[in-house]
Chain A
Amino acid sequence: MSSQKISLTINGESVEAEVEPRTLLIHFLREELNLTGSHIGCETSHCGACTVDLNGKSVKSCTVFAVQANGGELVTIEGLANGTEMHPLQEGFYEAHGLQCGYCTPGMLIRAYRLLQENPDPSDDEIRVGISGNLCRCTGYQNIVEAIRYAADKINQAEGAD
């Protein structure tokens, strides 16, 4: 079985690696690169815990092969904070108690990160549709919606102040 060489950008850094074609992107991230922030939940593309941002789109990395990310630009949860400064979404989840067990949180955050770029001022309904591919089994959706709302407001206020 021949491996294939891939090169991509992950959280702003160039990465080169050799992967078997059958290696799923989530396994490549977690096991080869030790980027364990993205979680494995259902492994059947339902739960969204493995969501990453690939070429400006939210995708479920359990259902994409690492070779398909060749040449691509990837953002994972590890790339969200600016050094020790939390991203407004992370701050929002903290302030609005947007998590209980935390398992779905990395996927929620990286999905919301893209949602707010696609729609900077979403209604609560639009947030709910926007995160409909991410399951929370602590039943925390209400606070997750509030957390995303918090982040949207904070980002919009910061941009308005510029």
Chain B
Amino acid sequence: MTPGVFEYHRPNTVEEALALLGQFGEDGKVLAGGHSLVPMMKLRLAEPAHLIDINAIDGLRGIRDEGDVIVIGAGTTQAEVLTSDLLAKKCPILPEAAAQIADPQVRNCGTIGGNCANGDPGNDDPAIMMALDASYTLQSQDGERQIAAREFYQGIYTTALADNELLTEVRIPTPAEGVGMSYQKIKRKVGDYAIAAAAVTLSMSNGQCTDAAIALTNVGDTALLPLAAADAIKGTSVDASAVDAAAEAAMAASEPVEDLRGTREYRTAMAGQMTRQAIVEALSRAAGS
């Protein structure tokens, strides 16, 4: 399998990349880790005339702590996320999820920006970014804008990213100390997308849940943020009946397609089960519970 013909560009700076994106518009495609795009190109499902490889742009890499926000450069690989001491300490749901994404070789290439920008409902980071209420920095020659992850996803492979824009960084409000978080994913095998997965963050105080967010992977056209599921545990002690209610709400919001990963009924049930497991795990990690 060989991709169609394209012109290859390897900019060294964000500015050069934006100029190329501005020049080529919808004929240009950004190559980050390539492990979603290149297989699509081999199948000729993607045939960009211009491939803009952003791997030489050092400014797109790295994870930094800016106090109230953690900034992850879009070109940061999943392997780097997995081994980040900063994230292990301040936002451990991301390394927890990275360990469940693909395999070592793919994690050496795959980037957090690609995972967030790709728009495949099977990608894991979108649900996590929605649960964390992260935002994305989108740059073009016309300027820069911030968009909430919760507003970014519009449909399968459809996002708010314009043809001339590059997602340059992910900005995560630094989770308060004591927030419990977990990402639970059921998949058929290493490297596969989720049958269903759930991201949960929750805060406890004096045995009561004061805040929570729940998001789901691969059980809809985009990652889902079922508010009713989070509401079901807020203000409770997160006892068994609250967890059940949250799982019911997550299942009610799920609309998975039937595919090799299972029937609609099975995948919906797994969305509920992953929600249960992620709540219980997040609770065990939260202070004040």
Contact = CB atoms under 8 A, between A and B. Distances in A.
A133 to B, nearest CB: 3
Contacts of A59: 105, 108-109
Contact of A132 (B8, B35, B39, B103): B103
Contact of B109 (A48, A64, A70): A64
A58 B138 CA distance: 30
B3 A133 contact: no
Contact of A68 (B5, B55, B191): B55
Interface string B1-37: 1111111101000000000000000000000001100
Contact of B103 (A44, A57, A64, A133): A133
Contacts of B6: 21-22
B8 A21 contact: yes
A63 B103 contact: no
A21 to B, nearest CB: 4
Given A22-B3, A68-B55, A63 B35 contact: yes
Contacts of B5: 1, 20, 22
Interface residues of B, number: 28
B186 interface: no
B28 to A, nearest CB: 14
A45 B8 contact: no
A65 B8 contact: yes
B34 A63 contact: yes
Interface residues of A, number: 31
A57 B109 CA distance: 9
Given A24-B2, A43-B1, A44-B39, A60 B105 contact: yes
Nearest to A55: B108
Interface string B95-114: 00000001111101100000
A29 B47 CA distance: 24
Contacts of A20: 5
Contact of B34 (A48, A57, A64, A133): A64
B257 interface: no
Contacts of A133: 102-106, 190-191
A21 B7 CA distance: 7
Contacts of B10: 67, 70
Contacts of A51: 105
A27 B2 contact: yes
Interface string A1-45: 110100000000000000011111001000000000000000111
B38 interface: yes
Interface string B183-218: 000000011000000000000000000000000000
B109 A63 contact: yes
Given A21-B6, A44-B42, A67-B10, 4 more contacts: A22-B3, A43-B1, A63-B34, A111-B105
29 contacts: A2-B7, A4-B8, A21-B7, A21-B51, A22-B5, A22-B41, A43-B1, A44-B39, A45-B35, A48-B103, A51-B105, A57-B79, A58-B104, A58-B108, A59-B108, A59-B109, A63-B35, A64-B34, A64-B38, A64-B109, A67-B8, A67-B53, A68-B55, A111-B105, A115-B104, A132-B103, A132-B104, A133-B104, A133-B105
Q: Nearest 3 CB-CB pairs, A to B?
A: A133-B103, A21-B8, A132-B190
